[in-house]
Structure 1
Amino acid sequence: MESQAQQALKELSFVPPITEMESDVLTDEALSFILKLATRFAHRVPELLEAREARQAQFDAGATPDFLPDTAEIRNGDWRIRGIPEDLQDRRLEITGPPERKMVINALNANVKVFMADFEDSFSPVWGPVLQGQRNLTDAINRTISYNNPATGKHYALGDDPSVLICRVRGLHLKEKHVLLNGTPIPGALLDFGLYFFRNHKTLLENGSGPYFYLPKLQAHQEAAWWNDVFCFAEDEFNLTRGTIKATVLIETLPAVFEMDEILHALKDHIVALNCGRWDYIFSYIKTFRHHPDRVLPDRQVVTMEKPFLNAYSRLLVKTCHHRGAMAMGGMAAFIPSKDPEKNAWVLDKINADKSLEANNGHDGTWVAHPGLADTAKAVFDAALGERKNQLDVMREQDAPITAKELTEPCEGDRTEEGMRHNIRVAVQYIEAWISGNGCVPIYGLMEDAATAEISRASIWQWIKHEKSLSNGKTVTADFFRACLAEEMEVLKQELGETVFNGGKYQQAASLMEQLTTSDELADFLTLSGYELLD
């Protein structure tokens, strides 16, 4: 009689077929679990994505996001989340990065409380690295991970007190084209979640931790409810107590900020925190208001957390989370240290100001992208927290209610040709790296991920759409953008050198950038087009 695992191999198909080298991750038992997840939950994802499109059509027709009238009972109700495990109660500093082997070791050894291993915005989901990322995380959890750098001979090993590990899975919009159910690619999120949970939950619990996840790109509480169903199924499948799986949800879309209570409620057995995913939030603001000429943002460099609409988002997130017993995580500091002392002092000053704003708003912790900035960011929260592990006691009860108008108010600032040209260079370099298999790239002193490239191309698309003027009086048109793109490609060739430029995929990246920026409709995610170019 056929086992469930053998049946799974018949129902799931793989492109290309699984090799012996991949079978250590894609075991029969793991695939049996993936099949169960995909069979029960994959068909609901297109429905959730269609609901996003229907909502966006309302915004395109002139509507603006607002709090939902039919869920007022949840917002006004007296309820709290189930609780926060001991090892997640102090999250004053988190570091993020892709699950690359050396990165995993360095991040777990850094002076931080949590490492978020990222299969999403700082990761390019090439099939080999997707599976290698899972191996790396399992080795880290088993405390067997090490790495020898072939170029330098340097040996990397895990320290005695690694930070807590959280896995960020892919967003619901991203498919895994190498795994098909009835000929249809399964959601990448289910593969990432299923493999990480199946391979590691037992050891994580034995280690006094648990299967912890970051959930990206949610736009509605119905999506949170879908995840809750996935978590409940996984717990029941392995006879685990309800609430064993814990999640932190990134509030990085404009529609989601109006449903924070509802998202917490839908996941209340499993959720421990919300996070201010500020870069994607800015991208989502542009995307939501793409047809609103009165809500066009200035250069992305000036859209900082001090701007009223972003500060309101931060304060509302803190107030909502703490009212429900959940933690409120701050956003990413994308800076990387500089070898130039004067420049580095400027970077540290920026980090200090940014993290001070978050700590003063009541956030329980924050993110950095580089271990070299950990001490500076952590010191701000050390000072704010004192003897406390978090700021759950900061309730912001004296705040005036934050309105939809505040959350959607456009901000002041110039649109400049220099800013536009800078965005072109950043976006092209990032897209080139991503389609070459690297999703986390240092560019001009910042650790860039997909969100900044998304802001860059969406912002210019909107300027073209509404024929906005720049500070020097020039009007942004598709032809003007194409001329700038051609000129900035020459600048990149000079900056990078002809050997690097000609050896990379820069022309392909520029072509994708042009297509995305001058298309009639604003594409939802550049990674959807880029994914077709990956192995």
Structure 2
Amino acid sequence: MNPASPTTVSIRAPRIAGDERVLTKEAVEFLSALARTFTARLRELLENRRQLQVKFDTGHRPDFLPQTKGVREGSWSVAPVPSGLNDRRVEITGPVDRKMIINALNSGANVFMADFEDSNSPTWENLISGQIALQEAVRGTLQHQDQLTGKRYALNEKTAALMVRPRGLHLPDAHVEFEGQPMPAALVDFGLFFFHNALVQTAGGAGPWFYLPKLESHQEARFWNDVFLFAQQAVGLPEGTIKATVLIETLPAAFEMDEILYELRQHSAGLNCGRWDYIFSFIKKLRNDAASVLPDRAQVTMEQHFLRSYTQLLVKTCHRRKAHAMGGMAAFIPIRNDAEQNRLALEKVRADKLREVMDGHDGTWVAHPGLVQLAADIFDSHMRGPNQIERQRDDVVVSAEDLLRVPEGLRTEKGLRHNIRVGVQYLEAWLRGLGCVPLYNLMEDAATAEISRTQVWQWIHHRATLEDGEALTHERFRRILREELDGLRDTLGRERFDSGRFGAASELFERLSTGERFEEFLTIPAYSVLLEMTEGQPS
């Protein structure tokens, strides 16, 4: 453990094999410089979020900012992206374990987004092992041998371009302290990857390219832009070398897309429709409004007006600024043991990707290598060039009312039970160190789990009436939770259930769903439980 001082980062974590390759003296000094320069400013930005939520809770609604009207109406564009990012028609995403990285880079996708965020459970072992694996991937040496099957995995000669998503600005990393407090996890993930790999990537004709999650304002985009300027200067790279795509996955950010692009215009690689977190944010930001209670998660599809409005506005905004407009994730995965269900799932993916390319998106996301070719075929058929940035969507006119229109549909006990099953099982896996979990033929991550628990909280908080005419009360929820836990024990088997972490997961899910105070992110209280279960509190 490094000695603590007011200006130095201290590592408070168990040793991980190979961590000396990541936590070098120089890398830790770079983290210290990032923390010293940006931590106080980030605290102010998070306080701004809190104050804005107070306004939402008392009836204020998001709107386009009058003070930035000049940016929205001005004639400007983002800097061109390098050739390696010009064609992004299919991007695959996943956590940073060695096998996943190899399979994703070899998948035939144009881009692999290595994810330290929603599909990664942030154990120290996962984080450090992920950084080691990415170092090897950048240098083309990454290999893996499956201990169960003996199968060996190695990188192909031609691989997808690599992008990295650090954790969100709201998350701490308890293992890395600055001034006696956990350092912002976003700076830890970004800093370690950038420091070790940026110069190697640029020497090989690629670059340090990132995805930025859960931004809520253009001030937060400005924060990241300044981080990029600082980092590039620190290692001697020209300004604008870093490129970053911002996920528009919060309700406030949907009203500041022009402004976010403008702040990052030197470093921008466009915007992405983070649809699942966007639904979660819609519920969260309007949580006190009884008129904004959503129907079943399964009914909140991309055809709902508020989602159609947001995705088409994103395309229009990006193309006006000569930036990529990336589509979202279809969470369906191939179903190996049921041909008919697999056919239906693939049809839904096909329809989703066809809608995106016809709307003007320049690329899309998949969660499984088995869907790469399907998505590629659709984009190849309708997008002849590397992108369709030249396609302006002047026909799109979106108002604040369009973005805030509450989706229509039913609230059902079936939907409630599905939310409970997904939420509990995802949290149980997350507490075992798994952040990306196939459940009921969908790939679930923290974003979809957030929808599950947030929706239950919203229904209980507003005593929403379900389709049977009965309100959802605390008592009804707890009875159904017990029934679903009994069902999972029967389905999974007592041994698997009792040896897992279902007790902690169900307790956490219940607390998040019934608490009087809404918890902003499930991963914050879950992180404390994760640390205790996987390694004890860092010391």
Q: Same fold (TM over 0.5)?
A: yes
**Alpha-carbon shift at residue 8 of structure 1 (Å):** 8.5
Matched, 1:392 2:389: yes
**Alpha-carbon shift at residue 384 of structure 1 (Å):** 1.2
Gaps spanning 5+ residues in structure 2: where?
532-539
1:510 to 501, 506, 512: 506
Distance across 1 between alignment mates of 2:13 and 2:22: 15
**157 and 419 in structure 1: CA distance in 2 versus 1, 3 angstrom threshold:** same
Structure 2 partner of 1:177: 174
**203 and 293 in structure 1: CA distance in 2 versus 1, 3 angstrom threshold:** same
**112 and 19 in structure 1: CA distance in 2 versus 1, 3 angstrom threshold:** closer
**72 and 10 in structure 1: CA distance in 2 versus 1, 3 angstrom threshold:** closer
1:440 to 424, 431, 436: 436
- The one-letter amino acid of 2:374's match is T
Matched, 1:403 2:399: yes
2:450 to 443, 449, 454: 454
Question: Any conservation in 1 of the 2:7–2:32 contact (CA below 8 Å)?
Answer: no
Structure 2 partner of 1:103: 100
Structure 2 partner of 1:13: 10
1:375 to 361, 373, 376: 373
Distance across 2 between alignment mates of 1:20 and 1:149: 18
Distance across 2 between alignment mates of 1:380 and 1:429: 33
- The one-letter amino acid of 1:370's match is H
Structure 2 partner of 1:488: 484
1:255-310 Cα offsets, whole Å, 9 max, x none, are: 00000011001111101110000000000000011011111110001101111110
Matched, 1:531 2:527: yes
Q: Where do 1:303-318 residues align within 5 Å?
A: 303-318=300-315
Q: Where do 1:124-135 residues align within 5 Å?
A: 124-135=121-132
- The one-letter amino acid of 2:228's match is F
1:420-456 Cα offsets, whole Å, 9 max, x none, are: 0011000000011111111000111011000111001
Matched, 1:38 2:35: yes
**Alpha-carbon shift at residue 398 of structure 1 (Å):** 2.5
Structure 2 partner of 1:118: 115
The alignment's TM-score, normalised by the length of structure 2, stands at 0.96
1:298 is paired with a residue of what secondary structure? coil
Question: Any conservation in 2 of the 1:279–1:452 contact (CA below 8 Å)?
Answer: yes
Structure 2 partner of 1:465: 461
Distance across 1 between alignment mates of 2:419 and 2:87: 36
Question: Any conservation in 2 of the 1:213–1:247 contact (CA below 8 Å)?
Answer: yes
Matched, 1:359 2:357: yes
Question: Any conservation in 1 of the 2:93–2:367 contact (CA below 8 Å)?
Answer: yes
Matched, 1:89 2:116: no
Q: Where do 1:133-148 residues align within 5 Å?
A: 133-148=130-145
1:312 is paired with a residue of what secondary structure? helix
Distance across 2 between alignment mates of 1:58 and 1:7: 39
Gaps spanning 5+ residues in structure 1: where?
none
- The one-letter amino acid of 1:382's match is D
**Alpha-carbon shift at residue 479 of structure 1 (Å):** 1.1
Question: Any conservation in 2 of the 1:71–1:262 contact (CA below 8 Å)?
Answer: yes
Structure 2 partner of 1:67: 64
**Alpha-carbon shift at residue 394 of structure 1 (Å):** 1.3
**Alpha-carbon shift at residue 20 of structure 1 (Å):** 7.8
**Alpha-carbon shift at residue 16 of structure 1 (Å):** 3.2
- The one-letter amino acid of 1:381's match is F
**Alpha-carbon shift at residue 12 of structure 1 (Å):** 2.1
Distance across 1 between alignment mates of 2:404 and 2:89: 29
Matched, 1:428 2:406: no
2:271 to 274, 291, 295: 274
2:240 is paired with a residue of what secondary structure? coil
1:183-213 Cα offsets, whole Å, 9 max, x none, are: 0111000010001001001111121110000
Question: Any conservation in 2 of the 1:124–1:435 contact (CA below 8 Å)?
Answer: yes
Structure 1 partner of 2:537: none
- The one-letter amino acid of 2:65's match is L
Distance across 2 between alignment mates of 1:64 and 1:47: 22
2:529 is paired with a residue of what secondary structure? coil
Distance across 1 between alignment mates of 2:438 and 2:15: 34
- The one-letter amino acid of 1:534's match is L
**294 and 6 in structure 1: CA distance in 2 versus 1, 3 angstrom threshold:** closer
- The one-letter amino acid of 1:366's match is T
Distance across 2 between alignment mates of 1:7 and 1:490: 48
Distance across 1 between alignment mates of 2:176 and 2:236: 27
Structure 2 partner of 1:195: 192
Structure 2 partner of 1:345: 343
**Alpha-carbon shift at residue 11 of structure 1 (Å):** 2.3
RMSD over aligned Cα, in angstroms?
A: 1.4
Most deviating of 469-478 and 91-100: 469-478
Identity among equivalent pairs (%):
52
**35 and 514 in structure 1: CA distance in 2 versus 1, 3 angstrom threshold:** same
Distance across 2 between alignment mates of 1:288 and 1:22: 39
Question: Any conservation in 2 of the 1:8–1:35 contact (CA below 8 Å)?
Answer: no
1:90 is paired with a residue of what secondary structure? coil
Question: Any conservation in 2 of the 1:8–1:31 contact (CA below 8 Å)?
Answer: no
**Alpha-carbon shift at residue 17 of structure 1 (Å):** 6.5
Question: Any conservation in 2 of the 1:9–1:31 contact (CA below 8 Å)?
Answer: no
Q: Where do 1:210-359 residues align within 5 Å?
A: 210-339=207-336, 340-359=338-357
Question: Any conservation in 1 of the 2:16–2:128 contact (CA below 8 Å)?
Answer: no
- The one-letter amino acid of 1:163's match is A
Question: Any conservation in 2 of the 1:122–1:449 contact (CA below 8 Å)?
Answer: yes
Distance across 2 between alignment mates of 1:485 and 1:95: 34
1:390 is paired with a residue of what secondary structure? coil
**Alpha-carbon shift at residue 23 of structure 1 (Å):** 1.8
**11 and 481 in structure 1: CA distance in 2 versus 1, 3 angstrom threshold:** same
- The one-letter amino acid of 1:76's match is E
**Alpha-carbon shift at residue 145 of structure 1 (Å):** 0.5
**7 and 180 in structure 1: CA distance in 2 versus 1, 3 angstrom threshold:** closer
**Alpha-carbon shift at residue 355 of structure 1 (Å):** 0.7
- The one-letter amino acid of 2:117's match is E
The alignment's TM-score, normalised by the length of structure 1, stands at 0.97
Distance across 2 between alignment mates of 1:153 and 1:528: 37
Q: Which runs of 4+ in 1 moved over 6 A?
A: 5-10
**249 and 497 in structure 1: CA distance in 2 versus 1, 3 angstrom threshold:** same
- The one-letter amino acid of 1:269's match is Q
**Alpha-carbon shift at residue 111 of structure 1 (Å):** 1.8
- The one-letter amino acid of 1:86's match is S
1:38-73 Cα offsets, whole Å, 9 max, x none, are: 100011111111101111111110111100011101
Question: Any conservation in 1 of the 2:426–2:449 contact (CA below 8 Å)?
Answer: yes
